Amino acid sequence: MPLAALVTLDERRDLRRELSRLESGGRVTLELRSLHAEQPLVVALEALPRTNPLRIAASISSEQQHEASQLNPFMVRFPSGVVALDEAGRVVFSNPRARTILGPDAIRKGADFASSAPPELRAVARRLVEFAAPVGPIEITLADHRVLRVSGMAAARNDPALMLIEDVSADHRQERVMHEFLRNAAHQLRTPLAGITAAVETLQSGAKDKPEERDRFLAHVERHAERLTRLARGLLTLARAQLGEDAPIDFVELRPLVDRLVAEAEPHVGVDMHVECEPGLATLASPDLLYEALAALLDNALEHTRDGEVRVTAAQLNGRVAVTVRDTGPGILPEFVERVFEPFFRVTPSRKGYGLGLAIAAQAVHAMGGEIDVSSEFGTGSAFTVRLRSATAVE
């Protein structure tokens, strides 16, 4: 059977018939066509003595053997996955890269590809084998979210079908991260740029001639310029984290960070702001990412709160630090709670913005190895909580 697997399908029956006729010490010479050689091979078969279980010795001329084995070493070194299928859809060859991509159990030699390979590839195999139609490069998403680029050459009368497989998941992930980065950057940079533009226009319209007004608007420009710097660092850190790089982690004391956010906030008239955070409470996080995450949560709370209060609380619990931003806005309908962190999703379409703030907050928290969740009761308000590693020393 191992020898028969090396020859074309239409000659295997002849080979097996001759094998069955061999007597002990007998010899027969056949001309066969190999799966991987264009020229016929002359194979001499001889039965060994019956003192041991019947074994067959085969000899092939050195020139023909070299010609027959040229394809396999090349395919073994091929950077893409290669799977060869016979006319019945069985695997006759697979290189190491294919076994890495699909797993050794999915492409065992002699196994039916349609029953062992991922379901998404079965239609491709059927097209190559049953319909003898080539497959141009197509991309297939597997159940585990990996993206494969697949192409193939159809089976011919004497040759198996060849399927070439590339794992392009990393390319897709990088492209997706780039789109996310550009989308997040456009959204986040809008506010400080608008603030700087407004301040410059006010200065040029005459405020620069009044020392008190000039100093106030220059401080306004300075504050928004610092915000732009933090945004650039935060967005770049977030993009690197989405590509799989570790976000830079540092010791971050929470009370100064929260106080700065509250000082920069612009609540609606009649909305009170409160902070509850013990001095010395700290976390291990990326300072820029944490700032952007909490700023997005605070902006969201202030945008939806027209009266009442917005409260920021931070506390330590079970070795973690929990920071909660609670508002007294209209709340979120139960059917929308699970979707608030989706990009571009807005509970109230008429509100300003693009629905990216909460998505950016969630991405930043996850990049730091933290957790974020929301609880809301429609009509009474919402609470967003971020949980991160604690860096506070306790007795």
Is-contact 324 385, C-beta < 8 A? Answer: yes
CA–CA separation, 376 and 304 (whole Å):
13
C-alpha to C-alpha distances, 73 to 29, 33, 45, 170, nearest whole angstrom: 27, 19, 26, 27
259: CATH: 3.30.565.10
252 and 395 part of one domain: yes
Query: Does residue 225 surpass a pLDDT of 80?
Result: yes
- When pLDDT is cut at 50, 70 and 90, the band that residue 54 belongs to is very low
184: CATH: 1.10.287.130
CA–CA separation, 394 and 274 (whole Å):
26
Where a domain ends, among 126, 145, 167? 167
322 and 188 part of one domain: no
Where a domain ends, among 147, 167, 187? 167
Sheet holding 308-317, edge to edge: 271-277, 308-317, 320-327, 381-389, 371-377
124 and 232 part of one domain: no
The stretch 124-152 carries a mean pLDDT of: 84
Gap between the terminal Cα atoms of the chain: 73
324 and 261 part of one domain: yes
361 and 298 part of one domain: yes
The reported pLDDT for the residue numbered 59 is 43
C-alpha to C-alpha distances, 55 to 85, 130, 295, 356, 359, nearest whole angstrom: 28, 35, 77, 71, 67
- When pLDDT is cut at 50, 70 and 90, the band that residue 256 belongs to is very high
Q: Which residue type sits at 216?
A: R
* pLDDT tens figures, 25-40: 667 777 777 665 566 6
141 and 152 part of one domain: yes
Highest mean pLDDT pick, 42-51, 89-98, 288-297: 288-297
293 and 385 part of one domain: yes
Q: Which residue type sits at 208?
A: K
Is-contact 47 24, C-beta < 8 A? Answer: yes
Least confident of 193-207, 274-288, 332-346: 332-346
C-alpha to C-alpha distances, 138 to 135, 147, 164, 169, 214, nearest whole angstrom: 8, 10, 11, 14, 61
257 and 313 part of one domain: yes
CA–CA separation, 316 and 160 (whole Å):
64
Give 47's strand partners.
56
The reported pLDDT for the residue numbered 305 is 92
Least confident of 61-65, 161-165, 212-216, 252-256: 61-65
388 and 371 part of one domain: yes
Instruction: Record the tokens describing residue 262, joined without a space.
Output: 């509250």
Counted domains in the chain: 4
- When pLDDT is cut at 50, 70 and 90, the band that residue 385 belongs to is very high
Range of the domain at 158: 75-167
Is-contact 140 160, C-beta < 8 A? Answer: no
CA–CA separation, 389 and 368 (whole Å):
9
CA–CA separation, 298 and 161 (whole Å):
59
394 and 257 part of one domain: yes
- When pLDDT is cut at 50, 70 and 90, the band that residue 145 belongs to is confident
* Residue 199 burial by Cβ neighbours in a 10 Å radius (0-12, 13-18, 19+): buried
- When pLDDT is cut at 50, 70 and 90, the band that residue 366 belongs to is confident
* pLDDT tens figures, 147-200: 888 888 887 766 788 888 888 887 777 677 667 666 666 666 777 888 888 888
211 and 351 part of one domain: no
119: CATH: 3.30.450.20
Under DSSP, is residue 41 helix (H, G, I), strand (E, B) or coil?
Answer: strand
Least confident of 291-300, 331-340, 343-352: 343-352
- Nearest-CA neighbor of 354 among 185, 175, 172? 185
Where a domain ends, among 192, 222, 245? 245
Least confident of 7-21, 39-53, 293-307: 39-53
- Nearest-CA neighbor of 16 among 1, 32, 37, 31? 1
Q: What stretches of 271-387 show up as alpha helix (H) in DSSP?
A: 287-304, 357-367
Least confident of 62-71, 166-175, 218-227: 62-71
359 and 394 part of one domain: yes
The reported pLDDT for the residue numbered 384 is 95
Q: What angle do CA 369, 372, 373 make, to 5 degrees?
A: 155
